[in-house]
Amino acid sequence: GGPSTPPGISDKMSESIKEAQEACSEDSASGECAAAWDEVEELSAAASHARDKLKESDPLENYCKENPETDECRTYDS
Amino acid sequence: MAICSAHTTTSLRSPCTTISNTGLRQNQVILFTTRSSRRGSTRHGARTFQVSCTAEKPIIIGLAADSGCGKSTFMRRLTSVFGGAAEPPKGGNPDSNTLISDTTTVICLDDYHSLDRTGRKEKGVTALDPKANDFDLMYEQVKAIKEGKAIEKPIYNHVTGLLDPAELIQPPKIFVIEGLHPMYDQRVRDLLDFSIYLDISNEVKFAWKIQRDMAERGHSLESIKASIEARKPDFDAYIDPQKQYADAVIEVLPTLLIPDDNEGKVLRVKLIMKEGVKYFNPVYLFDEGSSISWIPCGRKLTCSYPGIKFSYGPDTYFGQEVSVLEMDGQFDRLDELIYVESHLSNLSTKFYGEVTQQMLKHSDFPGSNNGTGLFQTIVGLKIRDLYEQIIAERAGVPAEAAKV
């Protein structure tokens, strides 16, 4: 598995899933129900983007941004 | 009078050079030019300042798709065709949705939400509902960008669900508006030079969202299904109808090569291209206008199960003439793609193998082994071609006028 979702977003998500299930318990065709699930979708997308960002970050690349002069980071074009 | 455009080579000191290098500074440059010419008489080289520069105006591209349907992958493929990586604005809001590269700026239309997350919940409307969006502001700002003016665009923060303070957006060469409603409002639609709709079938959407969300705490198969079902009425009412206005539609469907497949791993992808759109010549397979079905696997090409099947032909889409190119199945190896590329025409590539090269460059992106990646790359090349034609025409027409 890849990196996990940042805890802040993850908590918000499980909370909004619960809220959506409650909002839909009375009337599953109501605007409130749709809006609640739409919030879940928005957070799912945000969570997935946050995971992608973590995936893209390479520890060595990050280190080399800060320390380009070190042995493990120096690159010469010619 | 000289006209300066992106392709004009001017001396380094000319005020027009800045325009050629980056589209970003053009506002300042125009101000500078006017100011200088006003007090030009006292300055040395005043005559060079009298050169009037036609400011390069951005071309506007609209990309419509539901959330979680690969808009960001498409955007990364598109910006890569123009060269250079797309990055969030430096030093601004870390939650900004904007991506900027040398040539292209991509904004997310969620930034034009008129209701924040709490507001939508109180009113019982989804983000898909036009009532949750400010189309007047969207129109004004896209229009301003098209005229070459900078804008102060709000930021919708997807993590907090709040509208954050605005960010300054400079007019780029290519301005992409992506989101749920780029073609909903007629005024905005009329500003678009090209429009694309990513149409993901319900089966595939479900499979993709399971892949994306199943690992999330508290999200189960039932809740993913409930979320899709709850949003569907608004999706069908407000988002889906926009596809009739798109110049190109990428439709993603379950494969027909495997009976009763519902894994969503093997895909059948259609590229629906409108005929008669200025600066846009649809891609074709073997013979333009014919109906063709082609299985490239055989003596020259080994394919593993379930193989690859292409189709091409004319069709009608919402009462309009279109050309449809379809790919079902997936690539296992590179030689398959170059073999396919060599049989497609009107790709708008600059050299033989450019499609394959672009796909290889991003072999880690989702869809790189099937028709989604292939057709997104092709549309990217088409947009580059469109941009170059528009710029060439703009540079040509005023030059002609200036002679008279």
Q: Residue B20 corresponds to which tokens in the numbers above?
A: 């050629």
* pLDDT band for position B12 (cuts 50, 70, 90): very low
Closest CB to B159 among A4, A33, A46: A46
**Higher pLDDT among residues B313 and B263, named by residue:** B313
Give pLDDT tens digits for A33-50.
999 999 999 999 988 888
Last residue of a domain, one of B196, B228, B254: B196
Same domain (yes/no): B119, B35: no
Cβ contact B312:B291 at 8 Å: yes
CA distance A38 to A16: 10
The H or E element spanning position B271 is: strand B267-274
Mean pLDDT score, B396-403? 59
Same domain (yes/no): B167, B100: yes
Give burial (CB, 10 Å; 0-12/13-18/19+) of A7: exposed
- For residue B213, the distance in angstroms to the closest alpha carbon of chain A comes to 7
DSSP class per residue in B59-86: EEEEEE--TTSSHHHHHHHHHHHTSS--
- Chain-wide mean pLDDT for chain B? 84
CA-atom Rg of chain A in angstroms: 21
Same domain (yes/no): B88, B184: yes
Residues 6+ apart with CB under 8 A from B331: B308, B337, B369, B370
- Look at residue B294 and tell me if it is in a domain: no
CA distance A73 to B6: 37
Same domain (yes/no): B35, B48: yes
Quote the ipTM score. 0.83
Give burial (CB, 10 Å; 0-12/13-18/19+) of B300: exposed
> In chain B, pLDDT over 90 holds for what percent of residues?
58
- Look at residue B192 and tell me if it is in a domain: yes
pLDDT of residue B69: 62
- Look at residue B117 and tell me if it is in a domain: yes
Residues 6+ apart with CB under 8 A from B300: B339
- Look at residue B208 and tell me if it is in a domain: no
**Higher pLDDT among residues B85 and B130, named by residue:** B130
**Higher pLDDT among residues B304 and B263, named by residue:** B304
Quick one: closest CA in A to B127, which residue?
A: A38
Same domain (yes/no): B79, B95: yes
Cβ contact B175:B58 at 8 Å: yes
A3 Cβ under 8 Å from any chain B Cβ: no
- pLDDT exceeds 50 at position B36: no
- Look at residue B234 and tell me if it is in a domain: no
Query: What are the two backbone dihedrals, phi and then psi, of residue B16, each rounded to the nearest 5 degrees?
Result: -80, -20
Structural domain boundaries, residue B175: 57-196
Give pLDDT tens digits for B185-231.
999 999 999 999 999 999 899 888 888 888 788 788 888 998 999 99
B213 to chain A: which residues are within 8 Å by CB? 44, 48
* pLDDT band for position A9 (cuts 50, 70, 90): confident
Pairing of strands B194-200, B248-254: parallel
- Look at residue B166 and tell me if it is in a domain: yes
Same domain (yes/no): B63, B23: no
Give pLDDT tens digits for A49-67.
888 877 777 889 889 989 9
pTM higher than 0.90: no
The helix-helix angle for B354-361 and B334-341 (nearest 10°) equals 150
A46 Cβ under 8 Å from any chain B Cβ: yes
- Look at residue B362 and tell me if it is in a domain: no
CA distance B26 to B278: 27
Pairing of strands B59-64, B174-179: parallel
Closest CA to B54 of B105, B13, B19: B19
Using alpha carbons only, give the angle B291, B294, B296 rounded to the nearest 5 degrees: 160
> In chain A, pLDDT over 70 holds for what percent of residues?
96
* pLDDT band for position B31 (cuts 50, 70, 90): very low
pLDDT of residue B214: 82
Q: What three-state secondary structure class fits B385? A: helix
CA distance B87 to A50: 15
Q: How many domains does chain B have?
A: 2
Last residue of a domain, one of B196, B227, B254: B196
Residues β-bridged to residue B252? B200, B269
Mean pLDDT score, B4-10? 39
- For residue B111, the distance in angstroms to the closest alpha carbon of chain A comes to 13
The H or E element spanning position A15 is: helix A7-26
**Higher pLDDT among residues B45 and B153, named by residue:** B153
What is the CATH classification number for the domain harbouring B113? Answer: 3.40.50.300
Q: Residue B281 corresponds to which tokens in the numbers above?
A: 């010549």
Mean pLDDT score, B43-65? 64
B209/A44 Cβ within 8 A: yes
Same domain (yes/no): B21, B87: no
- pLDDT exceeds 70 at position B43: no
pLDDT of residue B213: 85
Same domain (yes/no): B51, B63: no
B226 to chain A: which residues are within 8 Å by CB? 20-21, 24, 37
A28 Cβ under 8 Å from any chain B Cβ: yes
- Look at residue B304 and tell me if it is in a domain: no
Same domain (yes/no): B170, B189: yes
Same domain (yes/no): B31, B66: no
Give pLDDT tens digits for B152-193.
999 999 989 999 999 999 999 999 999 999 999 999 999 999
pLDDT of residue B401: 55
Same domain (yes/no): B189, B63: yes
Last residue of a domain, one of B196, B228, B252: B196
Same domain (yes/no): B89, B23: no
Q: Residue B336 corresponds to which tokens in the numbers above?
A: 């398959």
AA letter at A63 = Y
